[in-house]
Amino acid sequence: MSEKQKRPNTAQLLREKQGLIESIKSRLSGDKPPFASQVKPSESFAPVSMIPDTDDEKPVPDFEPEDKTIIRTVYVEKSPAPADPTADTYKTLIGKWKVVSHTTSGDDYRLHFEMTHLNGKKFRTAAITETFEFREHICLKETSIDGTLDDGRTYRYKLNLTTTFTIPRADTLAIKIESGYLSRTVGTEAPAVKDYSGDGKTDEIGFRFDGETLIMEDVYRDDRKSLTRLA
């Protein structure tokens, strides 16, 4: 067989290819291919008989659901929790404060202390320091007095208290003593020490800010303090 005889007829291949394309298109559209009788198997293309005849296929009916209820997905955005009205007040309170003015029952704290603690004695000199250090729900209270009595004896007084606190209202501190101690030394006497373990009682104290000054008021004891921030 000559080389010319082995070579496939180009025109025939083109006709087969075009017929196969038209056949596929007609089956996709549901029409009978107009050139189906002209398509012949070829080594280069799949036989038409391998492609299902759509004439044998049954039409697919439109689907109509019995339950026509429309189901929708509803996204509910969770509302943020209401802001704590005491949060800013709490942040402002945190830190260490020093008492710069203290009165009890209308009297200066030094005079009140003399009347309630010194058994008729008075201070000749007295350096009084009071601080409140507010941490996260903890308040460290410290009062120290270093002075001389009118009889010449030295007098040293130190009160340390660890308390817990909350702010139930924007102008109220709820304070509870947890632990602490009181130490007092007069002249050459041995120090007298008292421990505080806390009785579970909660005291409410009013407070407010006046500019950079913290005002603390205990209305039940008629006690008022003005404090400035140390840190």
3-state secondary structure of 39: coil
- Alpha carbons within 13 A on the beta-carbon side of 144: 6
28-55 residue pLDDT tens: 665 554 544 454 544 444 454 444 555 5
Last residue of one domain, picked from the residues 59, 79, 99: 79
Are 121 and 204 in the same domain? yes
Do residue 60 and residue 93 come from a single domain? no
Are 91 and 60 part of one and the same domain? no
pLDDT digits (tens, 9 = 90+) for 71-113: 455 454 555 555 566 788 889 999 999 999 999 999 999 999 9
Kindly tell me if the per-residue pLDDT of 70 is higher than 70: no
- Are residues 65 and 106 both part of a single domain? no
Question: Same structural domain for residues 121 and 105?
Answer: yes
* Cα distance between residue 158 and residue 140, in whole Å: 13
The SS3 assignment for 59 reads coil
Q: What does the pLDDT look like over 141-150, one tens digit per residue?
A: 999 999 999 9
Give pLDDT tens digits for 153-203. 999 999 999 999 999 998 999 999 999 999 999 999 999 999 998 788 999
Higher pLDDT, 136 or 43: 136
pTM of the model: 0.63
Which residues constitute the domain of residue 94? 87-229
pLDDT given at position 123: 98
Structure confidence at residue 69 (pLDDT): 54
3-state secondary structure the chain: CCHHHHCCCHHHHHHHHHHHHHHHHHHHHCCCCCCHHHCCCCCCCCCHHHCCCHHHCCCCCCCCCCCCCCCCCCCCCCCCCCCCCCHHHHHHHCEEEEEEEEEECCEEHHHHHHHHHCCCCCEEEEEEEEEEEECCCEEEEEEEEEEEECCCCEEEEEEEEEEEEEEEECCEEEEEEEEEEEEEEECCCCCEEEEECCCCCEEEEEEEEECCEEEEEECCCCEEEEEEECC
pLDDT at site 87: 83
In this prediction, residue 66 carries a pLDDT of 57
If asked whether residues 42 and 95 sit together in one domain, one would say: no
- Residue that is last in its domain, among 56, 79, 102: 79
Q: Are residues 44 and 151 in the same domain?
A: no
Residues 37 and 100 in one domain: no
Q: Which of 79, 98, 119 is the last residue of a domain?
A: 79
Given this model, what pLDDT does residue 64 score? 55
- pLDDT-based confidence at 16, cuts 50/70/90? confident
Tell me, yes or no, whether 48 and 74 share the same domain: yes
Residue 227 pLDDT grade (very low, low, confident, very high; cuts 50, 70, 90): very high
Q: Would you place residue 22 in the very low, low, confident or very high pLDDT band (cuts 50, 70, 90)?
A: confident
Q: In this structure, are 195 and 224 located in the same domain?
A: yes
Please tell me whether residues 41 and 107 are part of one structural domain: no
Q: What is the CATH number of the domain that holds 207?
A: 2.40.128
Q: What total number of domains does the chain contain?
A: 2
pLDDT at 18: 73
Q: What is the pLDDT at residue 142? A: 98
Which residue did the predictor score with more confidence, 27 or 210?
210
Model pLDDT, residue 49 = 47
Do 98 and 203 belong to one domain?
yes
